[in-house]
């Protein structure tokens, strides 16, 4: 999870796409014809959705956003598709003074990273809007002599944790990335027991409420999930860790990635895995972002792709197990992507980067109804065209409404990367 989001240059597998996107927005006065044409071309050839053989349920989100939000932000009239860059620059820092009211009833998990200190402040201010907070602190690694070591305690901030507990009831579940060589860990019973002991002991000593574990993407990268026996051992390890944490009255959340195509593969986390782990895992943090990359530029998390992913995991939205659904946490990105269309630099952008682009280039924001995301275009100092996808109030609200319709929770990567008024939606 971390590498896919922190180092954006790594490529993800591309799937068959269909070329039927179109830009729904109207050109603004003064916008060059060449820019409008380029946006149209970009939308047609890059805003693509994986071809699917099944029917995915559709909702005209823009016409039926009904989730509750902070009244003040509704009254401003800035949750809309035809937003102007100046409205974002003027309003982004004017979050409601009521920072404790929750508007989303299902679980809300928020990640915080040590390299983005704003997230620590946001966690304190908006503590009551979250059910779980996950600081990205730990790695479980192989050590010399076929041993294991849990690294990351130096990242832990006890003073921050103490302040969080004084401000609200959000549970503290640090993330642990399982970096240990899977062939060794999964095949050796003593090593598996050691891994579980290290994690449970750390939680007890540091008085955490549990952990968030990330391992599935690592195991897929090593190729162990292609082996049926190794795959069973992997699932059994996750189950054993969850059961061990539950015995200590702690919670356990597990990170899962979206399927890479409309047909589940051996290495994908699927509905049978969900059923197998449901009693041992309190929440499944689903990474429904990073749909596009530098090789295939486009939106961060198209709405239809999100629905396809949820349908593969949970079945029809009209006939879903509500108890199990609440354990699935739809991933929502608070970061964006800046794609250089014809060569040049590009990569991840966070809130302050996006505001700087708006201030410097004063671009028009275009709404793509198919993906449910805004796009801006600009030329850099080398005259290279860029396409930027960054969340807006409207795009986030649509995803919250989608999650509400499915009866699922949400997980945010990560709260230090967003704009202040995003939290009025939670």
For the ranges 95-99, 244-248, 408-412, the lowest mean pLDDT is seen at 95-99
Q: Which of 348, 341, 332, 345 is nearest to 389 (CA)?
A: 348
- Interval 186-198 mean pLDDT: 96
Is the C-alpha dihedral spanning 231, 233, 234, 238 positive or negative? positive
> Residue 9, exposed/middle/buried by CB under 10 A (0-12, 13-18, 19+)?
exposed
pLDDT confidence bin for 70, thresholds 50/70/90:
low
- For residues 355 and 89, give the distance between their C-alpha atoms in angstroms, rounded to a whole number: 7
Q: Are 416 and 122 in contact (CB under 8 A)?
A: yes
- Higher pLDDT pick, 320 / 204: 204
User: 50-68, pLDDT tens digit by residue?
Assistant: 333 333 333 334 444 455 6
Map out the domains of the chain as residue ranges. 99-336+392-425
> At 262, is the pLDDT very low, low, confident or very high (cuts 50, 70, 90)?
confident
CATH C-level class of 99-336+392-425: alpha beta
Q: Are 336 and 343 in contact (CB under 8 A)?
A: no
How far apart CA 129 and CA 108 sit, in angstroms, is 8
Residue pair 379/386 in contact (Cβ under 8 Å)? The answer is yes
Claim: this prediction has a pTM higher than 0.75: yes
Query: 343 has which bridge partners?
Result: 341
């Amino acid at each position: 999870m971390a590498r896919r989001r922190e180092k954006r240059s790594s490529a993800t597998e591309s799937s068959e796409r269909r070329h039927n996107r179109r830009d729904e927005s109207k050109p603004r006065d003064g916008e060059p014809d060449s820019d409008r044409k380029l946006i149209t071309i970009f939308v047609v050839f890059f805003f693509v959705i994986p071809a699917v053989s099944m029917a995915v349920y559709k909702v005209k989100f823009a016409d039926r956003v009904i989730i509750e939000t902070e009244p003040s932000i509704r009254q401003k009239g800035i949750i809309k598709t035809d937003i102007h860059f100046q409205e974002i620059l003027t309003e982004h820092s004017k979050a409601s003074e009521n920072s404790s009211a929750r508007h989303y009833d299902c679980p809300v998990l928020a990640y915080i990273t040590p390299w983005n200190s704003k997230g620590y402040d946001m966690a304190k201010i908006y503590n009551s809007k979250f059910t779980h907070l996950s600081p990205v602190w730990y790695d479980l690694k192989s050590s010399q002599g076929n041993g294991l070591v849990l690294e990351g305690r130096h990242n832990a901030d006890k003073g921050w944790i103490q302040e969080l507990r004084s401000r609200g009831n959000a549970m503290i579940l640090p993330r642990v990335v399982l970096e240990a060589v899977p062939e060794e860990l999964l095949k050796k019973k003593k090593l598996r027991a050691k891994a579980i002991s290290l994690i449970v002991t750390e939680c007890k000593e540091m008085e955490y409420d549990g952990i968030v574990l990330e391992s599935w993407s690592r195991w897929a990268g090593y190729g162990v999930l292609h082996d049926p026996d190794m795959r069973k051992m992997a699932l059994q390890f996750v189950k054993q860790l969850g059961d061990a944490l539950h015995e200590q009255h702690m919670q356990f959340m597990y990170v899962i990635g979206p399927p890479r195509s409309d047909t589940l593969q051996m290495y994908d986390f699927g509905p049978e895995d969900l059923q197998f782990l449901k009693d041992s895992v309190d929440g499944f943090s689903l990474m429904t972002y990073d749909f596009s990359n530098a090789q295939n530029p486009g939106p961060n998390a198209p709405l239809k792709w999100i629905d396809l992913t949820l349908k593969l995991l949970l079945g029809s939205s009209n006939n879903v197990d509500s108890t199990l659904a609440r354990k699935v946490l739809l991933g929502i990105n608070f970061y964006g992507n800046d794609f250089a269309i014809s060569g040049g630099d590009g990569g991840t952008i966070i809130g302050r980067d996006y505001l700087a682009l708006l201030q410097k280039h004063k671009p028009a924001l275009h709404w793509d109804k198919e993906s449910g995301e805004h796009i801006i275009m600009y030329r850099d100092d080398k005259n290279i065209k860029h396409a930027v996808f960054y969340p807006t109030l409207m795009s986030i609200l649509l995803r919250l409404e989608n999650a509400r319709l499915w009866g699922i929770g949400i997980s945010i990567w990560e709260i230090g990367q967003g704009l202040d008024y995003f939290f009025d939606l939670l």
